[in-house]
A and B are shown apart, each in its own frame.
Chain A
Amino acid sequence: MFFLSENRLTVVRDTEFLVSDMYNDLTPYEAGKYQMVSDSKKNNWLLGRFAAKGAIIKYVKNAGLVNLQYSDIEIRSGNNKPPTFLIKKNDIDYESIIKNARLSLSHSKGVAVAQVISGEFGVRPGVDVEKIRTFSDEIIKGFCTDEEYLKLKNLSSVDLNHEATLYWCLKESYLKALGVGLCLNPKYIGLPEDVSLLGDIYFTVKGTPVATNMYWTVLEDGYIIASIII
């Protein structure tokens, strides 16, 4: 279908930018939100905003506009709802360029990923990033379908950590694209039998097949990033 490459995503790391620089690019509204974030999550939160703004700048650039700065963009997010954004600059009509744009963002342990696509025809993105980790059997059973659980049970521990993290990433991305987050149990999202096949593929939602576009990759230092477009 489209966007079948890493170019569809904007990935940033905490080693690339100074916290003070990222903070200075926040709008007053965002700075107010930042103060309400717990101290242990502040840096990841900032990184998420930074990735999102980078993805928006990339999206606007594709429309031929190059003068947008990070501080011109305001990211708004609600509990369990897809984030939205505003452009706080009115030298040209940005509104007409971004009116259909859809944003998804995620951050985990010093890495953030964001994606902006045109939401024309109802298309929606969902992204997730996770550090590869160990999962308890109960958690795997909790978020996998019976078939997925059986498949994971037969893997060695190294492969299990990778696959379980990937399954989680794909499911959370899908739920974000749906716009419901974890309000729907991830076990109701069925992954394709072969998750190594990228591109147009079918997921299931409560057993019903749904056309999906899937991309994922593993970063060198053990993070998986996934992107779903529905």
Chain B
Amino acid sequence: MKNYQQIKDEVIKIISDTLNISHMEISEKSSISDLSEDSIHLFGLLIAFEKTYGIETTYEDIVRLHSVGDIVEYVQRVKFTA
């Protein structure tokens, strides 16, 4: 099972690779909708999360989760907590 820090590093790498942003610009507090330039980028992020974690995330989830830290907690809860 992955710990919080490991998931956080993974999530930041996914966001960095998908949105083409330096990982230095992404923190736990960063807003996902602020990081993504538009709806197509946001959709790309959904696809990347789905591919990595096998979780079908909706745009609504992402907006509701709001920050990178929220996503890390969500992945930890849904994927790594039985």
- Whole-angstrom distance between the alpha carbons of A41 and B38 in the complex? 10
- Whole-angstrom distance between the alpha carbons of A117 and B75 in the complex? 42
Q: Is the CB of B59 within 8 A of A181?
A: yes
Known: A130-B40, A133-B40, A182-B42. A139 touches B47 (CB 8 A): yes
User: Which residues of A lie under 8 Å from residue B63 when comparing CB positions?
Assistant: 79-80
A138 within 8 A of B: yes
- Whole-angstrom distance between the alpha carbons of A142 and B50 in the complex? 10
User: Which residues of B lie under 8 Å from residue A109 when comparing CB positions?
Assistant: 37-38
Interface centre among B42, B58, B60 (most CB of A within 10 A): B60
Question: What 0/1 pattern do residues 122 to 157 of A give for CB contact below 8 A with B?
Answer: 000000001001011011001100000000000000
B51 within 8 A of A: yes
Q: Is the CB of A108 within 8 A of B42?
A: no
Contact surface of B with A, Cβ cutoff 8 Å = 31, 34, 37-40, 42-44, 46-47, 50-51, 58-60, 63
**Number of residue pairs across A and B with beta carbons under 8 Å?**
42
Known contacts A80-B59, A181-B59; can you find 7 more A-B pairs with CB under 8 A? A38-B34, A41-B34, A80-B63, A109-B37, A109-B38, A142-B47, A143-B43
Q: Is the CB of A182 within 8 A of B44?
A: no
Q: Is the CB of A139 within 8 A of B43?
A: yes
A25 within 8 A of B: no
Interface residue ranges of A29-44 to B (CB < 8 Å): 38, 40-41
User: Which residues of A lie under 8 Å from residue B51 when comparing CB positions?
Assistant: 138
Q: Is the CB of B60 within 8 A of A136?
A: no
A63 within 8 A of B: no
Q: Is the CB of A138 within 8 A of B47?
A: yes
User: Which residues of A lie under 8 Å from residue B59 when comparing CB positions?
Assistant: 80, 181-183
Interface size class of A (residues with CB under 8 A): 20 to 34
A172 within 8 A of B: yes
User: Which residues of A lie under 8 Å from residue B37 when comparing CB positions?
Assistant: 40, 109
User: Which residues of A lie under 8 Å from residue B47 when comparing CB positions?
Assistant: 138-139, 142
Interface residue ranges of A58-112 to B (CB < 8 Å): 79-80, 108-109
User: Which residues of A lie under 8 Å from residue B38 when comparing CB positions?
Assistant: 108-109, 130
Q: Is the CB of B40 within 8 A of A168?
A: yes
- Whole-angstrom distance between the alpha carbons of A109 and B41 in the complex? 13
- Whole-angstrom distance between the alpha carbons of A107 and B40 in the complex? 12
- Whole-angstrom distance between the alpha carbons of A139 and B50 in the complex? 11
User: Closest approach, in angstroms, between the C-beta of A4 and any C-beta of chain B?
Assistant: 26
User: Which residues of A lie under 8 Å from residue B44 when comparing CB positions?
Assistant: 136, 139
Q: Is the CB of A183 within 8 A of B60?
A: yes
- Whole-angstrom distance between the alpha carbons of A138 and B27 in the complex? 26
User: Which residues of B lie under 8 Å from residue A38 when comparing CB positions?
Assistant: 31, 34
Q: Is the CB of B43 within 8 A of A142?
A: yes
- Whole-angstrom distance between the alpha carbons of A130 and B31 in the complex? 22
